Structure 1
């Protein structure tokens, strides 16, 4: 029997840890999922169980290597970001895998920014808003000052995707997509590590940089498969779009956060953009991507519950509400528009729908149309921050709101000079991680049919 050539992709989220096998047409031919109980660090803060994750990688691989129908050509990894594994001389972890939501000591944070030029100037240079532990470089700074004896033993700090790659390749490397995403480590103006990384003795604890499209040999004798060095999941999810579309586009990725990614905006972040929750990160080829975001998916979830309770409806109803243009016109005429910024110019974290009295709406469906109107106003304000002056002609929307007819129609109306598409693709992060190393395992040309698009034409009102 002819074996099917496949790539194995580990897609490690906070909750679900998945292994996919893709064939050369990027179809999923095998899938395995695991979930682990969190453990706690020495301060009692919840964190990933690193040992369970390590064992799971080996167990999963053992399982697929036993399957005679597949020939594994390569393995790659994508995981959530902002998480370092600290390894000693023997490649063993020195600490738990600290959670990026762990509160950061205020005094240490003030010491850092006071030493390195203040929050505003430093954030502009590193394209990193002040996010505490979510700036993963700050975790290294904390280790140095709070646990100097461990810092002294530290041979190499690897972001989580590179740690998983090390388990199979036996080699230490650093990936630009992990370093270049709000870590405080990278100076976007110089295209190198920020000066503080050298001054604090951090750079010598970081592995050499290697391209996200390069591969390593496996460290187990007798195996011919290649090992990728791993990617940050947000960057991986953008790769299918970068591979398929070459004219300027933006991607609005909608989930708990609604994030607008513009790979064609390479202008340095301004103080104004930082205030409005913009950041830049580096995509897998090392180019900057400017991004803006707001908490749209979370707000939608909370406000749907409020509407459902007030009108005594099931919240399930709101999953498939049809777009009613007449209702939108009525609301635009009768309801005050929602604000999208505060008086000091900072972006509002929410759309303002929470302040609306539900008694001013006749039905739950009417209230829901207003919620989406308010969210799209916020979305447009957020997206424009990274779209302006970049020649983007197409906007792709993926995630939850791509299936919302009201949101999509209103977004198309708000950008009449652009083509707006709902995009759908199963397992975008995993496919992007496989595409990054396509040339090393796949004998077929890059695919051009893995993203399904639905075009939303602008609905013109009748006179």
Structure 2
């Protein structure tokens, strides 16, 4: 019998709202893809947690049923940020915490005030103070002091992508793209743990650092047998999802901003000045897979887009609908999601001709166009904040769902006349593609599959956007 050809990479891509398994060949083609919704679960400790149990069952059953599993030469995980896992020698020490649990940042609690006194400032971590558990250090502090028995079981701390690498291989490692993702655990300039992480003893508990592309070892034999994976299947360290998306562009010499869209819309500007970062507008430094500080801005674009759609199809709006919004002075003022973003302290409002209106009173096509226009406006402003001195040759690349929304792309280009905007038209989303590329980090970069954004011209857009921005910056009660 002929030996099975090992030519596939297993990509485990776990986002906040959806999880995917992809089996990708050596040419970058997706031969098989599976998905499931992802949501937090309750725990006996009284907090919401990541659904590791449900995801594990799904991964196991999916791989065991696939005829392609025996062809996997390597496996790599890419996950959302603000997620860390504590383990014992062979199991979870406690249910891993969901960053949207709302008690982490209860500002009336003694724990909140104690954390605020002890955490490092923005000048050290380049991470602003964020809502709920978006600063992962706050999660660890809360658990350590609220559930000391659970904390006492912790032998090793792992970022979420590296939990899956440990589950597969039995080898524990940490990686900088998750440690440096607005955690207040890491100092990007020093490339070391923050003072808080060291003082609390967390730094000593984290598994040793390793590059995202490093091979940790092979899949544990018992697990390989149960899932049908080859015993020789190599497990890579893994990566934070937005940084996986960015990794494929790190060799670019252009003045580049990458817009990675999904539940979060994350803008990353390699080599942009850190001096332009404004913590009050949720700007921060991520750390890329090479360990380099990467100026970043973001907002919860996927949720805000969905809120403004209010059930309308995402691609229903047209250029004519957008022009009608401008003529009728219909505008959406932020924010339609409470977790983060440049205008996180505002409550979302829709105005028409100086009067507040309810979303259901707008036609579906209007809501679709308004969602695209709003997200394009926030994105454009953040691009300009990250690169205030951008040259005429600056490039913006949009990845993820927004890359498939023609109206959003055209409006973004119209709002950024000094930039050239592109959409990634890769059949595989940027986070998964970046993870796949990390499995061949030393090999030549594949083509980026970029399409230029449409060149829209909208009369009155500049004035409309100026008034919108003035209202956003003035305060939550100012009408458009």
TM-score (norm 2): 0.78
Deviation per CA, 1:369-427: give whole Å up to 9, x if none: 56655554433222211122354611112334434443322322222221112222223
More divergent stretch after superposition (150-159 vs 273-282): 150-159
Distance of aligned partners of 1:414 and 1:196 in 2 relative to their CA distance in 1, 3 Å threshold: same
Whether the 8 Å CA contact 1:217–1:226 is kept in 2: the answer is yes
Distance of aligned partners of 1:174 and 1:370 in 2 relative to their CA distance in 1, 3 Å threshold: closer
Q: How does 1:258-297 map to 2 (within 5 A)?
A: 258-268=265-275, 270=277, 273-297=278-302
1:114 aligned onto 2:104: no
Match of 1:129 in 2: 128
3-state SS of paired residue (1:46)? coil
Q: What CA distance in whole angstroms lies between the structure 2 residues aligned with 1:253 and 1:410?
A: 17
Match of 2:343 in 1: 348
Match of 2:470 in 1: none
1:324 aligned onto 2:323: no
Q: What CA distance in whole angstroms lies between the structure 2 residues aligned with 1:436 and 1:161?
A: 13
Q: How does 1:374-393 map to 2 (within 5 A)?
A: 375-391=375-391, 393=394
Match of 2:413 in 1: 412
Whether the 8 Å CA contact 1:162–1:173 is kept in 2: the answer is yes
Deviation per CA, 1:324-361: give whole Å up to 9, x if none: 39x73x865774988889xxxx94347976133469x9
Q: What CA distance in whole angstroms lies between the structure 2 residues aligned with 1:92 and 1:162?
A: 14
CA deviation after TM superposition for structure 1 residue 260, in Å: 2.1
Q: How does 1:41-52 map to 2 (within 5 A)?
A: 41-52=43-54
Which of residues 5, 9, 12 is equivalent to 2:11?
9
Whether the 8 Å CA contact 1:352–1:374 is kept in 2: the answer is no
Match of 2:477 in 1: none
Q: What CA distance in whole angstroms lies between the structure 2 residues aligned with 1:383 and 1:30?
A: 35
Q: How does 1:43-62 map to 2 (within 5 A)?
A: 43-62=45-64
Match of 2:231 in 1: 223
Q: What CA distance in whole angstroms lies between the structure 1 residues aligned with 2:411 and 2:36?
A: 39
Match of 1:254 in 2: 261
Segments of structure 1 that go 5 or more residues without pairing to the other structure are 309-314
CA deviation after TM superposition for structure 1 residue 180, in Å: 0.7
Whether the 8 Å CA contact 1:124–1:269 is kept in 2: the answer is no
1:457 aligned onto 2:460: no
Q: How does 1:16-95 map to 2 (within 5 A)?
A: 16-34=18-36, 39-64=41-66, 67=68, 71-88=71-88, 90-95=89-94
CA deviation after TM superposition for structure 1 residue 59, in Å: 4.3
Whether the 8 Å CA contact 1:284–1:436 is kept in 2: the answer is no
Match of 2:146 in 1: 146
CA deviation after TM superposition for structure 1 residue 367, in Å: 7.7
1:176 aligned onto 2:191: no
Whether the 8 Å CA contact 1:269–1:279 is kept in 2: the answer is no
CA deviation after TM superposition for structure 1 residue 43, in Å: 4.0
TM-score (norm 1): 0.81
More divergent stretch after superposition (216-225 vs 379-388): 216-225
CA deviation after TM superposition for structure 1 residue 143, in Å: 2.8
Segments of structure 2 that go 5 or more residues without pairing to the other structure are 222-229, 336-340, 460-480
Match of 1:311 in 2: none
Match of 1:99 in 2: 98
CA deviation after TM superposition for structure 1 residue 296, in Å: 4.4
CA deviation after TM superposition for structure 1 residue 184, in Å: 0.9
More divergent stretch after superposition (183-192 vs 45-54): 45-54
Whether the 8 Å CA contact 2:181–2:287 is kept in 1: the answer is yes
Distance of aligned partners of 1:407 and 1:188 in 2 relative to their CA distance in 1, 3 Å threshold: same
